[in-house]
Amino acid sequence: MTRRRIAIRVVLLLVAAGSLYLLLPKLLDVFSSWPELRGIDPLWLALAVCFEALSYISLWTLQRITIGTRSWLAVGTSQLAANAAGSVVPGGGAAAGALQYGILVRAGVRGDRILSGLAASAAATTAALLALPVVASIAGIGGEAAPHSLRRVAYIGAAAFVLLGAVVVTAFVWDRPLLAVARGGRAAAGWLHRRDRFEDLPERLLVQRDGIKTAVRAHPVLAALAALGKWGFDYLVLLSVLQALDVRPTPSLVLLAYAAAALLALIPLTPGGLGFVEAGLTGLLVVAGVDAGAAAAATLAYRLVSFWLPLPVGLAAYWLGRRAFPAAPAATSPTLDT
């Protein structure tokens, strides 16, 4: 098992190194635009940092609902630490999930609620992200026509949003499809000689799903607003840095560019989509009507606020979480009471 893990990590490192090598010219273009940041408006930059903080608070609000815990400290520190880990480790989704799970367990949250709650929050934020191109298209009606490449983003986002919505509705309304998936997962575990660990998976999934339904049903509007706020405030970060550089493109076109770049950040080949986001966002901002130099500078400023700044904050959050929750108590997760 140890050799397998080592082999997987080596492969991930090689893939990340290869991807970064191919994207290096675009990364260098973005980072070489740093002299243009000398004239950036500090007030707009400070506002961008505030919007990024609100984006994180929105995500914590959603996770408190789906996990079912009152503790802002547990959710906040665990998510910040996990985000930092996922942003520095190639294919860091698994490492980030394990880190957040560990801190939440130490805080006394039940393990089954953590797994189902994090999965539910991820599905909600993904659905909100896929809805952004549709929102941008509606907002742009009667205004400047979107270029073909950005219209394609809207079409893909709309189709993916409908597909994901159908999957979520099916899983939450009917038992049989969810049970079929769980039994398939149990059978796959049997091929790996681990069926005993997943013997009760169908029953567990039903219980976890019903727990999520109960939690979200109590705060449906807040959950929806939190999922949208996670991306909406982050989009305002990009608009703020554009304003700080005295660049004012059409907001709906910027939203389409932002949505495409956010989807690129989900690519697990490099930590935090490093390289993919820089290349994609710079090019898409140019398509949206931003000068190439300003697009590179705006991308750099946006990534400084949304990607690089949370890394030391995440490290501090990990230290705080370890001090606040030194050992895992044998407590159950409290219900949410906002």
Percent of the chain with pLDDT over 70: 77
225 has pLDDT over 90: yes
The model's confidence at residue 276, banded by pLDDT at 50, 70 and 90, is confident
Average pLDDT, the chain: 81
The pLDDT of residue 269: 75
CB 150 within 8 A of CB 287: yes
pTM of the model: 0.82
Which residue, among 311, 242, 327, 336, has the nearest Cα to 81 in the 3D structure?
311
The pLDDT of residue 331: 44
Q: Which DSSP category does 268 fall into?
A: T
Transcribe 165-228 into DSSP letters. HHHHHHHHH-HHHHHHHHHHHHHHHHHTT-GGGGTTHHHHHHHHHHHHHHHHHHSHHHHHHHHH
21 has pLDDT over 50: yes
pLDDT in tens, 92-140: 677 788 899 999 999 988 887 888 888 888 888 888 888 887 777 776 5
Report the pLDDT averaged over residues 16-28: 68
pLDDT in tens, 231-249: 999 999 999 999 999 988 8
pLDDT in tens, 29-79: 787 888 888 888 899 999 999 999 999 999 999 999 999 888 999 999 999
Residue 21 token pair: 């090598």
Q: Measure the CA–CA gap between 278 and 300, rounded to whole angstroms.
A: 8
The model's confidence at residue 187, banded by pLDDT at 50, 70 and 90, is confident
The model's confidence at residue 320, banded by pLDDT at 50, 70 and 90, is very high
The pLDDT of residue 196: 67
The pLDDT of residue 33: 85
The pLDDT of residue 333: 42
